[in-house]
Amino acid sequence: MMFASREDAGQKLGSHLKSLGVEADVVLGLPRGGLVVAAEVARVLRTPLDVLIVRKIGHPFHREFAVGALAEKGVVVLDERMAQDHPAVRAELEKVVREETQRLHSYEARFHKTGSPQIANRRVLLVDDGLATGATTQAAALSVRNQGASRVIVSAPVASQNAVERLTNLADETIVLCVDPDFEAVGRYYDIFPQTTDAEVLELLKVA
């Protein structure tokens, strides 16, 4: 399945969720690109939109290679085997976690202008533009669980089989339009896949 854009993917995903009778009290997009999809989902479902900040943790020597993720409220998800199998990596990995934690706090201040979303006792729908490893979404799901969400639903237009399996026991539901066992990169499923800017995120939140 291919999508023309994140907006197109969000409209299709929202329509699918609506047809399934999915109900949520708040839709939380994962920045930055995930919020574009989430905005369309929230519009179709007529549900309030907000953002949950997550950050990828890259390998100290290959930063594009994800070995974990951070999410709000102190959630850290790491591939412990990476550190255990390579002790020399541990100290450098801790530096990366500190750097990304600082960036996460910076984005919290930037995107949560009126405070963090209220999650306790609410049904939360987490939306991203695609799930590659599932690490950032796993961290996001743990964050909302820790904040007392009554139900956690994870959804995306496209995902790898591994990502879906990773989230199966963590989310109450994982709903994806296209699960590809030969998944490569999220951008390959979109005709247009530009970088989403901070200004676009702020505008979507302002409109919401």
∠ CA 115-130-132, rounded to 5°? 110
Q: Are 204 and 39 in contact (CB under 8 A)?
A: yes
Q: What is the pLDDT of residues 117-146, one digit of tens each?
A: 999 999 999 999 999 999 999 999 999 999
Q: What is the DSSP letter of 2?
A: -
Which residues neighbour 80 within 8 Å (Cβ) at sequence distance 6 or greater? none
DSSP code per residue over 33-62 = HHHHHHHHHHHHHT--EEE--EEEEEETTE
CATH number of the domain located at residue range(s) 6-52+112-207 in this protein? 3.40.50.2020
Looking at residues 29-43, what average pLDDT do you find?
97
Per-residue pLDDT, averaged over 50-68, amounts to 88
Band of pLDDT at residue 82, cut at 50, 70 and 90: low
Residue 194: pLDDT above 80?
A: yes
In whole angstroms, give the CA distance from residue 194 to residue 190.
10
Contacts of 8 (CB under 8 A, 6+ apart): none
Q: What does each C-alpha distance from 142 to 93, 101, 112, 135, 170 come to in angstroms?
A: 21, 16, 19, 11, 8
